[in-house]
């Protein structure tokens, strides 16, 4: 049953509404960078392969730079990192339209390495602003804002490039990214909650928090975006093969709208669904999509399950990572999360393209869907082992004094209403105390 009260409670938290609003506006130019760079390289007289190399250079730089920038924010604070990345973004986008192609290729890597990390900054700040019981709704709202940004950014960039020029569009996108950096500097969202301010400023050694469990979550995140990127390519190929390429924009827009609805539904559910399970389901429901590629409306219809799972999967993965690491390294961890998602995007498109070139568009859906599901299922046992090992400790921690926890009832209230009835069914319940480095299977 859907419950909208958690959304209202989350949005009532101080600082969350302005952060989400800034996130939407800041991500619009970031979402447009790939298509803008492609149009610019084509305008220089080069082909799609050359444009792909520039995009790959930016992607590789971004994947390497995100955790480094997160570590900088953990150790020095958010503003120094934002100053650095905003200045580098201004320099890169201010000069990129006039650079010759070989120089642009190298500059794209540096620009990606020190690009403004809007996604990881916003998700790190959500973990600081929102208590754990309400983070699922906050991250669901964040995932929906990502969908809105990607619906607006690329389409707006194409419209401006065709009506004006790719060069002007490059300057516009660069100006938007710089403005986003300046806005985040003024907003200066927190990166740690008040009760986390005593956490040591010096990041912990990675061996203490970069555990197999966290690596499994990151692999699941990469698998989800691999499926999404591969399916994106397969949709275009399927419609082109059917002679209905003019409907591509409509189908992709409907797919994004399914994701918005799915993200909203996920946040309103009474209990969460684990991120690895969502990733596995996302991969599996993509596999048969190619069977409906004969007509555009049928393809749009069979994309509904995968679209409805897209935003929930991204939200659940970000939520899980934020819960699993200490606050002192959350910036670096969210940077690794961003890198994992980028790596999945970078691998999914060429994988689907290679499969489609060798066979048919339907196999592009099947290949990326199966690979994503297999990755999620391969790392799921690691999480299950941790879940079983956490259970005895959780049961031992539940005593009558647990009534002082935030989710339990005050004295005089019925034990049934305080959650004790649920306790008899197993160690996982709404009233349990949160364990250090708590499991993302926690239904809070």
How far is Cα 363 from Cα 360, in angstroms, rounded to an integer?
A: 6
| Residue 439 in this model has a pLDDT that exceeds 80 | no
Higher pLDDT, 4 or 30: 30
pLDDT tens, residue by residue, 312-363: 999 999 999 998 898 889 999 999 999 999 999 889 988 998 899 888 989 9
Domain boundary among 141, 163, 192: 192
| Residue 280 in this model has a pLDDT that exceeds 70 | yes
In a domain, 440, yes or no: no
Least confident of 126-135, 267-276, 297-306, 409-418: 409-418
The whole-number average pLDDT for the span 278-292 is 92
Do 171 and 218 lie in a common domain? no
Do 215 and 140 lie in a common domain? no
Do 218 and 182 lie in a common domain? no
The whole-number average pLDDT for the span 93-105 is 95
Do 183 and 220 lie in a common domain? no
In a domain, 4, yes or no: no
Domain boundary among 385, 418, 433: 385
How far is Cα 158 from Cα 136, in angstroms, rounded to an integer?
A: 34
Residue 410: predicted pLDDT: 42
In a domain, 441, yes or no: no
Ramachandran class of 437: left when φ > 0, alpha when ψ lies in -120 to 50, beta otherwise: left
Residue 384: predicted pLDDT: 72
Do 243 and 125 lie in a common domain? no
Residue 118: predicted pLDDT: 93
Do 183 and 316 lie in a common domain? no
Q: What CATH number does residue 65 fall under? A: 1.20.1250.20
Q: Give the dihedral sign, CA 329/127/342/324.
A: positive
Residue 241: predicted pLDDT: 87
Residue 155: predicted pLDDT: 86
| Residue 133 in this model has a pLDDT that exceeds 80 | yes
Do 183 and 42 lie in a common domain? yes
Is the model's pTM score more than 0.95?
no
Domain boundary among 133, 162, 192: 192
pLDDT tens, residue by residue, 56-82: 899 999 999 999 999 999 888 999 999
Q: Measuring CA to CA, how many Å separate 338 from each of 10, 276, 384? A: 23, 17, 24
Do 381 and 255 lie in a common domain? yes
Residue 75: predicted pLDDT: 87
pLDDT tens, residue by residue, 229-251: 999 889 988 888 888 888 888 89
Do residues 311 and 384 make contact, with C-beta atoms less than 8 angstroms apart? no
In a domain, 403, yes or no: no
How far is Cα 393 from Cα 250, in angstroms, rounded to an integer?
A: 51
In a domain, 400, yes or no: no
Phi/psi of residue 85, each to 5°? -70, -35
List Cβ neighbours of 155 (8 Å cut-off, separation of 6 or more). Answer: 249
Domain count, the chain: 2
In a domain, 69, yes or no: yes
| Residue 427 in this model has a pLDDT that exceeds 80 | no
| Residue 20 in this model has a pLDDT that exceeds 70 | yes
Residue 200: predicted pLDDT: 53
Do 186 and 262 lie in a common domain? no
The whole-number average pLDDT for the span 142-155 is 90
Residue 68: predicted pLDDT: 94
Do 173 and 241 lie in a common domain? no
How far is Cα 373 from Cα 212, in angstroms, rounded to an integer?
A: 19
Do 271 and 188 lie in a common domain? no
Residue 192: predicted pLDDT: 86
Residue 425: predicted pLDDT: 42
In a domain, 409, yes or no: no
In a domain, 417, yes or no: no
List Cβ neighbours of 38 (8 Å cut-off, separation of 6 or more). Answer: 48, 51, 52, 54, 55
Least confident of 85-94, 193-202, 265-274: 193-202
Check residue 435 and report its DSSP letter: P
Token digits of residue 116: 């403004």
Least confident of 1-5, 271-275, 329-333: 1-5
Residue 437: predicted pLDDT: 37
The whole-number average pLDDT for the span 386-400 is 48
Residue 205: predicted pLDDT: 82
Q: What is the span of the domain harbouring residue 187?
A: 16-192
Do 312 and 172 lie in a common domain? no
| Residue 194 in this model has a pLDDT that exceeds 90 | no
């Amino acid at each position: 049953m859907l419950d909208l009260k958690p959304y209202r409670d989350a949005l009532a938290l101080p600082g969350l509404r302005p952060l989400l609003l800034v996130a939407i506006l800041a991500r619009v130019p970031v979402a447009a960078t790939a298509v803008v760079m492609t149009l610019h390289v084509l305008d220089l007289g080069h082909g799609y392969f050359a444009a792909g190399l520039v995009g790959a250079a930016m992607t590789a730089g971004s994947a390497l730079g995100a955790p480094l920038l997160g570590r900088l924010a953990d150790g020095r604070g958010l503003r120094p990192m934002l100053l650095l990345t905003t200045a580098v973004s201004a320099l890169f986008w201010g000069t990129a339209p006039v650079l010759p192609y070989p120089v642009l290729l190298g500059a794209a890597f540096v620009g990606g390495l020190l690009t403004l990390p809007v996604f990881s900054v916003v998700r790190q700040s959500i973990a600081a602003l929102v208590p754990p019981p309400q983070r699922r709704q906050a991250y669901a709202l964040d995932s929906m804002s990502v969908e809105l940004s990607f619906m607006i950014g690329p389409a707006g960039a194409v419209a401006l490039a065709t009506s004006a020029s790719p060069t002007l569009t490059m300057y516009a996108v660069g100006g938007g990214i710089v403005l986003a950096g300046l806005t985040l500097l003024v907003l200066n969202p927190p990166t740690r909650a008040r009760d986390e301010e005593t956490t040591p400023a010096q990041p912990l050694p990675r061996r203490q928090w970069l555990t197999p469990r966290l690596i499994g979550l990151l692999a699941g995140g990469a698998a989800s975006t691999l499926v999404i990127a591969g399916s994106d390519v397969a949709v275009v190929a399927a419609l082109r093969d059917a002679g209905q390429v003019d409907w591509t924009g409509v189908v992709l827009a409907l797919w994004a709208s399914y994701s918005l609805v799915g993200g909203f539904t996920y946040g309103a559910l009474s209990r969460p669904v684990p991120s690895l399970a969502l990733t596995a389901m996302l991969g599996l429901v993509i596999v048969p999509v190619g069977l409906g590629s004969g007509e555009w409306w049928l393809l749009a219809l069979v994309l509904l399950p995968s679209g409805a799972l897209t935003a929930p999967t991204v939200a659940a993965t970000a939520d899980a990572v934020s819960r699993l690491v200490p606050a002192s390294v959350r910036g670096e961890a969210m940077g690794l999360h961003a890198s994992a998602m980028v790596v999945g995007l970078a691998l999914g498109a060429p994988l689907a393209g290679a499969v489609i070139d060798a066979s048919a568009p339907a196999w592009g859906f099947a290949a990326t869907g199966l690979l994503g599901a297999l990755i999620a299922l391969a790392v799921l046992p690691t999480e299950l082992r941790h879940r079983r090992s956490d259970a005895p400790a959780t049961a031992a921690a539940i005593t009558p004094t647990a009534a002082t926890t935030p989710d339990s009832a005050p004295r005089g209230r019925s034990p049934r209403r305080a959650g004790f009835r649920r306790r008899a069914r197993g160690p996982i319940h709404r009233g349990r105390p949160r364990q250090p480095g708590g499991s993302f299977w926690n239904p809070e």
